Amino acid sequence: MQIRINKYLSDCGIASRRKVEEFILQGRVMVNNKTVGNLSIKIDSENDFVHVDGEVVSIKKHVYYLLNKPKGTITTTKDDKGRTTVVDLIKSDQSIYPIGRLDFNTTGVLLLTNDGNFSYLLSHPKHKVPREYDVKLDRELTEEDRKRLVLGIVLEKKQSRFESITSPQKKNKVLLRVKCYEGKNHFVKRMFASLGYTVISLNRCSYAGLTADIPVGAYRKLSLSEISKITSHYAL
């Protein structure tokens, strides 16, 4: 079967499609012992031999995990300082990687997989996958600033906004729930910081409709119905 090289590599669980494209352009990918640098090249998945950094790769069984990320863990596959990564917390017979990032001390819903298409589906901004966060600020959010953050502000030369900001505890305006579609690093913290607020704690309580329904530090496999619901709702 003929398949584009970037899709093949993502299906092998190497990384997301965008990341494996970087590998190709860096000359780290070989097909039948020849280095390839063309992103549009197609390969025969049954007969061609593909290497990344000298290691042969092949399509693996896709796995999908939901982790309730604890504080003090790194959202990556490896850490050169020897710190615990989110991958260390999951016992899997497949090589997996996190979809997106949560900061070192940010907790909550984190998805991990070896399915590059699934990762691309949930992480690309054009699909508008919702993320919800429980936020604790250093001081009460004024009504004026709440409106500004929802209507939109200029953040690093780009118009950015929260979909909504609610107060689960109506009398406590330090504790908020924020909904957004943006997944860039430190987005929630940078949005509040732009108006002079400091985020004391941050917990992602929902991602793509999935909630942290397990204890902190625990993980579970996504069900077939959950995977199907996500892929059909945010179809490529």
CA atoms of 203 and 109, how far apart (whole Å): 8
Verify that 74 and 8 share a domain, yes or no: no
Whether pLDDT at 13 is above 80: no
Verify that 94 and 107 share a domain, yes or no: yes
Domain that holds residue 192: 130-207
CATH code of residue 190: 3.30.2350.10
What is the number of H-type helices and E-type strands within the chain?
Answer: 6, 17
DSSP, res 88? G
Name the band, by pLDDT with cuts 50, 70 and 90, for residue 48.
Answer: confident
- The total domain count for the chain is 3
Verify that 70 and 117 share a domain, yes or no: yes
Verify that 134 and 202 share a domain, yes or no: yes
Q: With beta carbons less than 8 A apart as the criterion, state whether 200 and 137 touch.
A: yes
Verify that 137 and 150 share a domain, yes or no: yes
Name the band, by pLDDT with cuts 50, 70 and 90, for residue 11.
Answer: confident
* Global confidence as pTM: 0.77
pLDDT for 144-195, tens place per residue?
Answer: 999 999 999 999 889 999 999 999 887 788 999 999 998 888 999 999 999 9
Considering the candidates 11, 53, 93, 103, report the single residue annotated as catalytic.
103
Verify that 136 and 170 share a domain, yes or no: yes
CATH code of residue 29: 3.10.290.10
What is the signed CA dihedral for 156, 157, 158, 159, rounded to 10 degrees?
A: 100
CATH code of residue 91: 3.30.70.580
Mean pLDDT of 27-39: 90
CA atoms of 127 and 61, how far apart (whole Å): 25
Verify that 82 and 31 share a domain, yes or no: no
Verify that 183 and 226 share a domain, yes or no: no
Verify that 197 and 95 share a domain, yes or no: no
Helix (H, G, I), strand (E, B) or coil at 35: strand
35, 56, 77 - which closes a domain: 56
Verify that 49 and 103 share a domain, yes or no: no
Specify the amino acid at residue 190.
R
CA atoms of 169 and 141, how far apart (whole Å): 13
Verify that 198 and 149 share a domain, yes or no: yes
Verify that 25 and 50 share a domain, yes or no: yes
Q: With beta carbons less than 8 A apart as the criterion, state whether 165 and 149 touch.
A: yes
Query: Catalytic: 103?
Result: yes
pLDDT for 76-124, tens place per residue?
Answer: 998 889 899 999 999 998 889 999 999 999 999 999 998 888 998 998 8
